Amino acid sequence: MDKFQDWDNPLYSNIETFKANRNGVEISRHGEGALSMKIAVIGANGQLGSDLVAAFYENGNVACALTHSDIEISDLHSVSHALEDLRPHVVVNTAAMHHIENCEREPEKAFAVNALGPRNLAIVARDLVRF
């Protein structure tokens, strides 16, 4: 069996090794017969993101852990650059500016991260859909 399988098929069943894009954390998983999806987790070293990466991995999926140094969600170019090579089946965003005091001190930044960021992810994710 080929070492590298067809990542465009969300139902393919045997993962040998997956290398995330040049910035992503590499996570490998071996298994026969397990259904698997390639899931990009943004904010992967945050409290929620790190738990999700572990949970997805434990459930047999390929978790591509993207940290703030890999992607800036308020920047459409950065989002596009990070996700287009990766071409995940699912994108989970946990990146946020959530401390109220910081949001009040820097409302423009809060808007960019909490509103424009998800918008940028939606735009790029829409363009990745290929079923």
Ligand X SMILES: NC(=O)c1ccc[n+]([C@@H]2O[C@H](COP(=O)([O-])OP(=O)(O)OC[C@H]3O[C@@H](n4cnc5c(N)ncnc54)[C@H](OP(=O)(O)O)[C@@H]3O)[C@@H](O)[C@H]2O)c1
Residues that bind ligand X (CB under 6 A): 43, 45-49, 67-68, 71-74, 94-98, 113, 117
Nearer to ligand X, 18 or 43 (CB): 43
Helix axes 117-128, 76-86, angle to 10 degrees: 30
Closest residue to ligand X in the complex (CB):
46
CB of 94 to ligand X, least distance (A): 4
Provide the strand spans (E) within the chain: 38-42, 62-66, 90-93
CB of 109 to ligand X, least distance (A): 8
Environment class of residue 6 by beta-carbon count within 10 Å: exposed (0-12), middle (13-18) or buried (19+)? Answer: exposed
Q: Which helix (H) or strand (E) holds 59?
A: none
Nearer to ligand X, 36 or 74 (CB): 74
Nearer to ligand X, 72 or 89 (CB): 72
CB of 12 to ligand X, least distance (A): 29
Q: CB–CB of 82/30 below 8 Å?
A: no
Nearer to ligand X, 5 or 21 (CB): 21
